[in-house]
Structure 1
Amino acid sequence: MPELRRALERELQSKPGRSLEIAGFRRAAVLVCLRSEGGVLRTTLIVRAARAPTHAGDVAFPGGLVEQGDRSLVDTALREAEEEVQLARESVEVLGLLDDTPSGAGFIITPVVGWVRGAPHLQPDGREVSECLEVSIEELSAPDRLTCVGARQIGGRSYPALEYRLERHLIWGATARVVQQLLERFAPAGGLSA
């Protein structure tokens, strides 16, 4: 899938993610990990632990709030992925950013798209993350997975309230909007075929 990786990188570089500012919202970043396994393109999602300080039980991308030592939003996303699922930052090639996405909890999330080299053994930290999900992009893009259940006002703007239904999990809120952005970026990059 090197052709798909290069095409997606070109797409992300030609149309960089748009930055968003909303007064009172805190900055966060997530790592949208992509990797090829047996010719199947996958992304890594996590299930927040039941005792996680925020978003308990939610499905999300690895990520979290910007901390004082972070050099950039990319650094935040890579640090959080290391902490939450033990994904070594050296194994991630950053391809670009998607548009900032606000959450109803008062965060502005910057999605960092990264291509993971090799087949890392991801391990949930157990404190904030209870499970790692390896989901194929093809499964996420199946027409019966996505439902729009209305709209949500966040920071004075209206956003679609999306849900992606997987076999055992529901992706909703800001994470669903990030998934939608990612899938929309695949069309100009040549779709899902390698």
Structure 2
Amino acid sequence: MKLAHRLKTDLELGHARELTLRTADARITHPASLAPAAVLIAITDRPEPGVILTRRASHLRKHAGQVAFPGGRLDEGDADAIAAALREAQEEIALDPAHVEIVGVSDRYHTWTGFDIHPVLGVIPPDLAFRPHEGEVEALFEVPLDFLLAPANRARKEIEAQGVMHHYYEIMWGEHRIWGVTAAIIANLSLRLGYDDGTSA
């Protein structure tokens, strides 16, 4: 079965299930005005599909130096979250939108830094010649999809903030630490696509 069709079917089946997801950072203690944003989960169409991830530049104002999907806030000219995700991926890593076959949109996630993130899934050809934006992206790498979504590769960690312990997820891939917002989106997607039966931590 074609990868994009399989992922779309799995995502639709996942959205039909009642699942307990982590949809917001635990540090959000009261409703706030959130800026709509979108990220592109670009999945490479190869025998063992991978996911394209970036490490954000260390000088950025928010989430500096963290591993992230290409993405950013919606602009006035964006028709929707899909358009925003494609535009941001083109700006950040020079991914031509024409190379992306959209699968669908996964579960939104609210960050304590004030964003309402829409994760957009798309399938891309393998081994494209990406060009990271020097001012936004310090590194770009690919992680196998099965590794990224497997609950066994995701650790539950905790951090103290304002005297309260908060939990978050962490995934290690070589030297890369995938945690926070990105790991939470991955954990939700793992549930939606049926990699996680909901019994993991």
Instruction: Please tell me the TM-score bracket, short chain as reference.
Output: 0.7 to 0.9
Give the CA deviation at 1:29: 0.3
Alpha-carbon distance change, 152 to 187 in structure 1, aligned in 2, over 3 angstroms:
farther
List aligned pairs for 1:1-194, cutoff 5 A. 2=2, 4-14=3-13, 15=15, 22-37=31-46, 39-142=47-150, 144-150=152-158, 160-187=167-194
Whether the 8 Å contact between 2:151 and 2:190 is mirrored in structure 1 is: no
Q: Which 5+ residue runs of structure 2 have no aligned equivalent?
A: 25-30, 196-201
Give the CA deviation at 1:186: 3.1
Looking at structure 1, the residues matched to 98 and 12 of structure 2 have their Cα atoms a distance apart, in angstroms, of 21
| Structure 1 ranges of 4+ moved more than 3 A | 20-23, 141-144, 150-153
Q: TM-score, normalised by structure 1?
A: 0.82
Alpha-carbon distance change, 152 to 162 in structure 1, aligned in 2, over 3 angstroms:
farther
Looking at structure 2, the residues matched to 36 and 182 of structure 1 have their Cα atoms a distance apart, in angstroms, of 18
Give the counterpart letter for 1:135 in structure 2: V
**Count of aligned positions:** 180
Give the CA deviation at 1:117: 3.0
Whether the 8 Å contact between 2:38 and 2:120 is mirrored in structure 1 is: yes
Looking at structure 2, the residues matched to 137 and 122 of structure 1 have their Cα atoms a distance apart, in angstroms, of 19
Give the CA deviation at 1:49: 1.0
Residues 100-159 of structure 1 show CA distances to partners (whole Å, capped at 9, x for unaligned) of 011121111000000113531111111011111111113324555311114899xxxxx8
1:156 alignment partner in structure 2: none
Give the counterpart letter for 2:45 in structure 1: S
Looking at structure 2, the residues matched to 108 and 77 of structure 1 have their Cα atoms a distance apart, in angstroms, of 13
Give the counterpart letter for 1:139 in structure 2: F
Give the counterpart letter for 2:94 in structure 1: Q
Identical-pair percentage:
32
| Aligned CA-pair RMSD | 2.7
Give the counterpart letter for 1:110 in structure 2: H
Greater mean alpha carbon deviation, residues 85-94 or residues 163-172: 163-172
Q: TM-score, normalised by structure 2?
A: 0.79
Whether the 8 Å contact between 1:91 and 1:118 is mirrored in structure 2 is: no
Looking at structure 2, the residues matched to 77 and 41 of structure 1 have their Cα atoms a distance apart, in angstroms, of 20
2:198 alignment partner in structure 1: none
Give the counterpart letter for 2:4 in structure 1: R
Q: Which 5+ residue runs of structure 1 have no aligned equivalent?
A: 154-158, 189-194
Whether the 8 Å contact between 1:93 and 1:117 is mirrored in structure 2 is: no
